[in-house]
Amino acid sequence: MELHANAFGRNARKALLDKSLQEALGRTTGRFLAHRDAAVAAFPEFEATRERASRIKGDVLDHLDTYLARFVEAAERRGAIVHVARDAPEAREIAARIARDEGVTLAVKSKSMASEEISFNEALQEAGVTVVESDLGEFIIQLAGEAPSHIIAPAVHKTRQEVSRLFERHLGEPRTDSIPELVGMARRHLRSKFLSAGMGVSGGNFLVADTGSVVLVTNEGNGRMGTILPRVHLAVVGIEKVIPRMADLPTFLRLLPRSASGQAISSYVSILTGTRSAGDPEGPERMHILLLDCGRSAILEGKYREILKCVRCAACLNVCPVYQSVGGHAYGWVYSGPIGAVLTPLLVGLPEAAALPDASTLCGACADVCPVKIPLPDFLLELRSDAREQGLKTPGEIAAMKGYAGVMKRAGLLEALERIAGVLGQFFTKGKGIAGLPYPLSGWTERRDFPAAAVQPFRKQWKIKRGVRR
Amino acid sequence: MGPSGSIPVSLFFTCLADAFSPGVCHATVEVLERFGATVRVPLSQTCCGQPAFNSGNRKEARAMARKFLRSFPDDGPIVTPSGSCAAMVKHGYPVLFRDEPRMLARARAVGERIYELSQFLVDVLGVTDPGSDFSGKVTYHDSCHLRRGLGVVEAPRKLLRAVPGVEFVEMEESDRCCGFGGVFSLKYPQISCRMTERKVERILATGASYVTSGDLGCLLNIGGLISRIGYPVKAIHLAEILAGGAGGGPPGAAADAKKGGG
């Protein structure tokens, strides 16, 4: 997927002016949040489960090599073929080779954020394979030629009217405002694809090390149909998705749907283990698992390793007031919201995405809801500090910070400047709020008054009151 | 609780209140003294360094943190009318000094001593009746760093409910960020403003005459939008409500007039 993370400011301003986006965002994030809060409130063991999940993921990160090796061995024992890609170009090459070797011309794909990281669809199209997105949201944005704007609800930015216009243009369907009718149109269109596709492509929410299983947590059933009907199944999954034991899965299944959509359990949980054996009524004849490193083992080595605990529930997006205001596309890559603001710079390099860690008020709402307790605000702060150390701050900001720190070195100097500001404030605004200031304060005063400084700062008043002579 | 002997308390008045709302500092002193504290005001204090730390400029933040630690050398509690400045000292300083064991120990020790005003009144002094004659319909905005950083949720509400003249009303989404975010409000002012607008909508929906909070940054931000549009609600610091008297103008204005300030 093309990277525009450093255009965050410009894209965010555009998003703020997009009325239908604003309407869609307010409605959907609000609904997810309300459902999530209700589901958590109705689940008294939430905190304890969260603690356990975070610990299990911590153990995985400490022994990722071991668990991955165990997973690969178990999966291959069940007939799967496991591939590992170090980076996106290698992943694309492997995916194209699999499709070519398997003689695939049409693939149906269920939702996978990892596949977006490597521009999977483009890679297969270049290899002559048609890829049809089968998740409803992904299907919609594929028709629109857009990228997902939310981890679990990729078309969250689209209103039903926009979807109907797309279906009219691309599928020749009549216009409707009815969501069930729109779903019916997509289903009719996709059914024939499921039946004729040579390969089903999926992501993976968990990789179970002791059984070699790929676990899919979905709501639409497309994931299950697409991984069972076609002759070949290809799962594209990040290496950090491994969990040690099947016995650990319930911990995560209790957390993920509740955090994501507020469901106690998703409509479908598919545990896909190996290829069809003799006597199995269904299942793929061939199963490929493409494990993506793509920057993950580098993250594992550093101070941000806990970000790899993420289960992609998107609760941090829904609760983030910045995400709620601008939506996912403003973040300019696969992942958005607080997780995107941390993960994108780590995966693509901070120079390419230094605007993202700044896109937060550090309000901490994300850390409150994270089901695996990732310290997202701490990581945002840390990345901002890295940006300074890597020379990515503007000279203006550094000069301002140096000047401000210089003033704060001496209380006397601060007081003198405060008194000058107080006099100016009286002179220009008679002590009332200031309506217009030059850059970099101009953004503030566009729609808000800036406070005028007090004539006498508190320090001075206190000295007079207490008779301190200094 | 009445005066209970003399508790020495150091006031960390914050640079923001010093420059823009001295009345908030006076109000803080007044309330602390009402409950038996002897308030010391270290005059060498300046800024805790939060804007530098939050924007990733740790070198400058560290210089200010050193200065802060030098300014509060004594024992005893440090009280501040700001949740975010208290959280900076408590949680930010250990990060700044993580590679300097001696400074880290000092930072942690000072972090143990620091309290936001309402937290200190309720949790340490056990105040149940603030003894304020303030009157009006008031709603409360949770500052993110007071609520999530220090875990202070109930203390300010208990105090507000205990003021006889205050009709306390909760706003929806009281714990949703107001959009200030320090340097964020300058880097992404349009997003910041959109968040402030939503906050102000929630405030107006309560019909309150006053919105209060434990952080001046939030109040200057919220108050700045209110004053631009001219909405019939005033942003006023919690300390000023607890000190009593009529509220008016921007945060600190009422007390400033009383004290012969700005």
Which residue does chain A place closest to B146, by CA atoms? A363
Nearest to A370 by CA among A66, A155, A51, A130: A51
Nearest to B119 by CA among B98, B93, B145, B91: B145
Model confidence band, residue B246 (pLDDT cutoffs 50, 70, 90): low
B254 pLDDT exceeds 80? no
Contact call for residues A328 and A156 (beta carbons, < 8 A) = yes
* pLDDT at site B1: 41
Nearest to A218 by CA among A198, A204, A232: A204
Distance from CA of A403 to the nearest CA of B (A): 9
Q: So what's the architecture of A43-297 in CATH?
A: 3-Layer(aba) Sandwich (3.40)
Q: In this structure, which topology does domain B7-122 adopt according to CATH?
A: Rossmann fold (3.40.50)
Gap between the Cα atoms of A96 and A98, Å rounded: 5
Cβ under 8 Å to B: A residues 255-274:
none
SS3 state of residue A348? helix
- Give residue B119's identity as a one-letter amino acid code: Q
What is the assigned CATH class of domain B128-258? Answer: alpha beta
Mutate to test the interface with A, among B13, B48, B57 (most CBs of A within 10 A): B57
Q: Is B88 on the interface with A (CB under 8 A)?
A: no
Q: Is B195 on the interface with A (CB under 8 A)?
A: yes
Helix (H) / strand (E) containing B69: helix B58-71
Q: Is A410 on the interface with B (CB under 8 A)?
A: yes
Query: Would you write out chain A's pLDDT as a tens digit for each of its 470 residues?
Result: 899 999 999 999 999 999 989 988 988 888 999 999 999 999 999 999 999 999 999 999 999 999 999 999 999 999 999 999 999 999 999 999 999 999 999 999 999 999 999 999 999 999 999 999 999 999 999 999 999 999 889 998 898 999 999 999 999 999 999 999 999 999 999 999 999 999 999 999 999 999 999 999 999 999 999 999 999 999 999 999 999 999 999 999 999 999 999 999 999 999 999 999 888 888 999 999 999 999 999 999 999 999 999 999 999 999 999 999 999 999 999 999 999 999 999 999 999 999 999 999 999 999 999 999 999 999 999 999 999 999 999 999 999 999 999 999 999 999 999 999 999 888 887 777 888 888 888 889 999 999 999 999 999 999 999 887 65
Cβ under 8 Å to A: B residues 137-166:
144-145, 148-149
Contact call for residues A243 and A151 (beta carbons, < 8 A) = no
Helix B58-71 with A376-389: angle, nearest 10 deg? 110
Gap between the Cα atoms of B46 and B17, Å rounded: 11
**Residue range(s) occupied by CATH 3.40.50.10420 in chain A:** 43-297
The answer to whether the pTM exceeds 0.80 is: yes
Find the DSSP H helices in A274-319.
296-301, 315-319
* pLDDT at site B252: 52
Q: Is A408 on the interface with B (CB under 8 A)?
A: yes
Q: Is A386 on the interface with B (CB under 8 A)?
A: yes
Residues on chain B touching A16 (C-beta within 8 angstroms): 190-191, 194
Q: Which residues of B151-169 are buried (b: 16+ CB within 10 A; e: fewer)?
A: ebeebbbebbebbeebebe
* pLDDT at site A470: 53
Residue A69 contacts by C-beta under 8 Å, 6 or more apart in sequence?
A: none
Nearest to B43 by CA among A443, A414, A256, A124: A414
State the CB neighbour count (10 A cutoff) for residue B223.
25
Nearest to A388 by CA among B58, B96, B48, B99: B58
SS3 state of residue A461? helix
Of A326, A367, A411, the CB nearest to B46: A411
* pLDDT at site B80: 98
**Residue range(s) occupied by CATH 3.40.50 in chain B:** 7-122, 128-258
End-to-end CA distance of chain B: 33
The number of angstroms, rounded, from the C-alpha of A77 to the middle of its chain's C-alpha atoms is 33
* pLDDT at site A432: 78
SS3 state of residue A63? coil
Q: Is A376 on the interface with B (CB under 8 A)?
A: no
CB contact under 8 A, A435 and B196: no
The number of angstroms, rounded, from the C-alpha of A55 to the middle of its chain's C-alpha atoms is 22
Mutate to test the interface with B, among A458, A460, A465, A466 (most CBs of B within 10 A): A458
Helix A8-17 with B189-206: angle, nearest 10 deg? 40
Contact call for residues B255 and B27 (beta carbons, < 8 A) = yes
Q: What is the maximal distance between C-alpha atoms in chain A?
A: 95
